[in-house]
Amino acid sequence: MNLRGARRAVALGAILAQSLVRYWLARLRGPLSMESRALWMQKSCRQVLTSMGIEFRVEGTVPTHGLVVSNHLSYLDILILSASMPCFFVAKMEIDRWPFFGWAARMGGTIFLDRLSMASSNSVARQIGERLKLPVPVLLFPEGTSTDGSHVLRFHARLIAPAVAAGAPITAAAIRYVAADGTPERELCWFGDVLFLPHLLKTLGTAGFSAMVSFGPPRLHPDNRAAASHTHAEIVDLRRQLLSSPRF
């Protein structure tokens, strides 16, 4: 790790400790509503991004409710999207076991999915349906895994279904990573067999790391297949626009 990375690692540790203390101080005043948990998560993620030297820019209107679906490049997407708006994530069960980050996700209202369990899928679908009644969006990565950004994988429509059934708006979102030194985006992504800690250390040492988030308009869809197909096409188009936009 270079000196820049070491400094950011220290700053990250301090922010994580501060977020932990801030959460428990809020709990001492009484139970936290789900909306309060999402706001705590948003503030914490903004501070974490600052400590890591990651800037982010948002294009389009930030959704305030309904389902948001996004492409998926890395665990960093969770920080970036949560910093952009209060929201509840649907995440793979493995994240729940991550040191600190799993606890933070759980306290922030994340819904955990065991991708190998149909019972878990049914339970998560029911939880999404309940969360859609709140004035906080639910955010889903329907590709089911992170990629190197070269293409958007086919969507799994099952967890989009609760929004269609509830008549809730679905908003497409796309993320792009930009390195100041021209490093290709795929080098910043976390995918395949890349280990978490080496990737985190590389990110902390990166000279300049920016993220761009683009939101489409909220839309209603008549059925699950149309929702998955149209939203996938919209995210592909948003990604194309981001990739052709000037760097910042």
Show me where the domains of the chain are located: 3-244
Return the H-helix or E-strand segment holding 48: helix 34-52
Mean pLDDT of the chain: 92
Residue 117 has a pLDDT of 86
Q: Where are the beta strands (DSSP E) in the chain?
A: 54-59, 67-70, 88-92, 111-113, 138-140, 170-179, 209-215
**pLDDT for 199-234, tens place per residue?**
999 999 998 899 999 999 999 999 999 999 999 999
Residue 2 has a pLDDT of 87
- Looking at domain 3-244, does it have CATH number 3.30.70? no
What b-and-e string marks burial along 183-203, b requiring 16 or more CB atoms within 10 Å of the CB? bebeebbbbeeeeeeebbbbb
pTM of the model: 0.93
Banded pLDDT at 109 (limits 50, 70, 90): very high
Residue 247 has a pLDDT of 56
- Tell me the C-alpha distance between 13 and 32, whole Å: 24
Distance of CA 195 to the CA centre of its chain: 19
**pLDDT for 157-198, tens place per residue?**
889 999 999 999 999 999 999 998 888 999 999 998 889 889
Banded pLDDT at 94 (limits 50, 70, 90): confident
Question: Please, are residues 105 and 238 in contact by the beta-carbon 8 Å criterion?
Answer: no
Banded pLDDT at 113 (limits 50, 70, 90): very high
